[in-house]
C-alpha cells in the first residue's frame, strides 16, 4: 500500500507529491513549521491527507515544546495550531483536525495531566486520525461500490486516492472497493490542469495497483460522455455545505455539467469530516487562489507570454442539483441534502 504520510521518531514522513511520478521520494519534516510549508507547497495535498498532516504537525509542535508548565505548553500548542490553520483555506478537514486536536488538548490539560502525558496524548490522537481515515475510506468504498454496475467505466477528476488520504482513497476508494467486489472497472482520469493531479498522481497510483486507467486531457471529458464511453463520474470533495453544494478541484463543475447534460450519474465520495454543516450553501466556501506560475509554467517550463494576466482559483463549487448522491463513511446521502446530510451525523 502507498504510504502517503507516516509519524516517525524523527518527524513526519511524506511522499513528495510534487515530484511524482518521475521520482518517489520520502522526505522527513522535523518541525510543525516545516509541515505547514509542506501543506502550502503541495508536498501533501487532498483534503483528508491535509487533515492528517495538520494533526501530525500540531502533535510535533507540542512534542518539541520546551514548556515547563501546562499553560506554557498551551501557548506553544496554540501557536502551532494557528500556523497550520493558515496553510490552505478550502479543505475543511484541516480545520476539523485542528479543532479535534484542540478539544483533546483542553480535556487532557483539564484532567491535570503532566506535560509529557499531554504530549503523548496528542501524538496518539494524530495517529488515531490517520488510522480512522483508512477505515473510513474502506467503509465509504463499500457503500459506493454498491451503486456501480457490474461492468463500469468511471471518470474521475483530480486525485482523490490513497495519495489524497491516509491510504485507499475516497473516489478511488470506491474504485478499489468495486474491484475487490469483483466488478470490471475501467477508470478514465482527466489530467487536471494546472497541477496535473490526474495525470501525475491518479494515473500513477492506479497503474501501481494494476487498475486499468486511461488518461485524457480535461477538454476531452465531454466527448467521452457524449459518445457513451463513461457510465458514471466519481470525484472527491474539499468541503460540502449543508445544502449539498460541493467544493472540489477546479474543473469539477464543468465535469458535473457535462455529466448532467448526458444523463450520467455524478457521485461525490467524502468522509463526514469534509461536511461543513455550518455553511448553508457553497457560496460561503472560501476558494483558494494559488500562485500564477502553476498556470504560466508546466514543470518549470514557461508556456505563456511574459507579464500576461493570469487567474488561478484552485477549487470550484458544484451545485447540489447536479449531484446524484454523496457517498460518505456513514452511508449514502441523496437529495434533499439538507435533511440527508444532517441525518448522517445522528
Tell whether residue 260 is a contact of ligand MRU (CB under 6 A): no
Least distance (Å) from ligand MRU to the CB of residue 96? 13
Quick note: the x/- pattern for ligand MRU over 172-211, rule CB under 6 A, is -------------------------x--------------
Residue 236: DSSP 8-state: -
236 binds ligand MRU (CB under 6 A): yes
Residues 210-229 that bind ligand MRU (CB under 6 A): none
Could you say whether residue 139 binds ligand MRU (CB under 6 A)? no
- Asked if 160 interacts with ligand MRU (CB under 6 A), we say yes
- Residues β-bridged to residue 189: 156, 215
Smallest distance from the beta carbon of 237 to ligand MRU, in angstroms? 6
From residue 313 to residue 332, the character string flagging contacts with ligand MRU as x (rule: CB under 6 A) and all else as - is: -x------------------
Write out the DSSP string of 152-221. Answer: EEEEE-S--BGGGSSSSBSHHHHHHHHHHTT-EEEEEEE--TTTTIIIIIIHHHHHHTT--EEEE-GGGH
Coil vs helix vs strand at 80: helix
Q: How far is the CB of 28 from ligand MRU (least distance, A)?
A: 21
| Subset of 75-134 contacting ligand MRU (CB under 6 A) | 91
**Count of C-beta atoms within a 10 Å radius of residue 30:** 13
Give the sign of the dihedral formed by CA 258, CA 260, CA 265, CA 271.
Answer: positive
329 is catalytic: no
Q: How far is the CB of 113 from ligand MRU (least distance, A)?
A: 34
Point out the catalytic residue in the list 238, 276, 316, 329.
Answer: 238
DSSP state of 321: G
- Rounded CA gap, 341 and 346, in Å? 10
Distance CA 47, CA 117 (A): 29
Q: Which residues lie near ligand MRU (CB under 6 A)?
A: 45-48, 91, 158, 160, 164-165, 170, 197, 236-238, 248-249, 314
Catalytic sites, residue numbers:
238
Amino acid at each position: 500500500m502507498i504510504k502517503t504520510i507516516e509519524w516517525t521518531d524523527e518527524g513526519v514522513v511524506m511522499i513528495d507529491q510534487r515530484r511524482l511520478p518521475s521520482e518517489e521520494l520520502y522526505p522527513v519534516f522535523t518541525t510543525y513549521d516545516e509541515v505547514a510549508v509542506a501543506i502550502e507547497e503541495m508536498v501533501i495535498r487532498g483534503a483528508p491527507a491535509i487533515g492528517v498532516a495538520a494533526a501530525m504537525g500540531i502533535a510535533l509542535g507540542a512534542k518539541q515544546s520546551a514548556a515547563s508548565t501546562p499553560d506554557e505548553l498551551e501557548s506553544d500548542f496554540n501557536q502551532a495550531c494557528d500556523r497550520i490553520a493558515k496553510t490552505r483555506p478550502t479543505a475543511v478537514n484541516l480545520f476539523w483536525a485542528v479543532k479535534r486536536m484542540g478539544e483533546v488538548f483542553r480535556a487532557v490539560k483539564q484532567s491535570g495531566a503532566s506535560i509529557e502525558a499531554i504530549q503523548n496524548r496528542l501524538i496518539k490522537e494524530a495517529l488515531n486520525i490517520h488510522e480512522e481515515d483508512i477505515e473510513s475510506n474502506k467503509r465509504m468504498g463499500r457503500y459506493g461500490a454498491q451503486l456501480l454496475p457490474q461492468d463500469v467505466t468511471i471518470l474521475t477528476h483530480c486525485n482523490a486516492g490513497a495519495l489524497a488520504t491516509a491510504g485507499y482513497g475516497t473516489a478511488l476508494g470506491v474504485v478499489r472497493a468495486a474491484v475487490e467486489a469483483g466488478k470490471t472497472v475501467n477508470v478514465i482520469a482527466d489530467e487536471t490542469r494546472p497541477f496535473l493531479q490526474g495525470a501525475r498522481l491518479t494515473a500513477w497510483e492506479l497503474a501501481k495497483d494494476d487498475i486499468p486507467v486511461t488518461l485524457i486531457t480535461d477538454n476531452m471529458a465531454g466527448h467521452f460522455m457524449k459518445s457513451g464511453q463513461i457510465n458514471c463520474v466519481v470525484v472527491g470533495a474539499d468541503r460540502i455545505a449543508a445544502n449539498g453544494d460541493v467544493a472540489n478541484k477546479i474543473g469539477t463543475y464543468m465535469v458535473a455539467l457535462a455529466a448532467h447534460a448526458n444523463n450520467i450519474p455524478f457521485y461525490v465520495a467524502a468522509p463526514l469530516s469534509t461536511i461543513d454543516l455550518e455553511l448553508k450553501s457553497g457560496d460561503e466556501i472560501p476558494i483558494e487562489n494559488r500562485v500564477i506560475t502553476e498556470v504560466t509554467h508546466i514543470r518549470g517550463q514557461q508556456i505563456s507570454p511574459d507579464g500576461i494576466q493570469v487567474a488561478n482559483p484552485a477549487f470550484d463549487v458544484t451545485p447540489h442539483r447536479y449531484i446524484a448522491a454523496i457517498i460518505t463513511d456513514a452511508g449514502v446521502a441523496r437529495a434533499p441534502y439538507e435533511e440527508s446530510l444532517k441525518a448522517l451525523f445522528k
